[in-house]
Amino acid sequence: MENLDIQPENFDINISLNGSMKTIQVEPEETTDGAEYFKCNVEGKNITQIRQEKDGSWEQIWGDLSNIDVVNIGKAIAAYKR
């Protein structure tokens, strides 16, 4: 029997973070009510968790990155998903 609970695959994005290029490992996750969010790790360390709001903006739900970094990570995630 086929497993219909397929988890989205992790992927990497490359962005400038605090002035230097970083590879961020992105882990798509889902809340219990079905809202998608993304765990973002650098070298195995969780640096933030973000989600895209209904209006298209990106919100940090965990972490202490600047708004500019959150937006840049969000844009790279959106570009990867296209």
Residue 2, pLDDT > 60, answer no
Phi, psi of 32 (to 5 degrees): -65, -25
User: Mind listing the pLDDT tens digit for each residue in 4-40?
Assistant: 555 579 999 999 988 889 999 999 999 888 889 999 9
Q: 26: closest CA among 3, 49, 5, 4? A: 49
Residue 69's H or E segment, with its range, is helix 67-81
User: Mind listing the pLDDT tens digit for each residue in 43-64?
Assistant: 999 999 999 999 999 999 999 9
Q: 11: closest CA among 29, 25, 32? A: 25
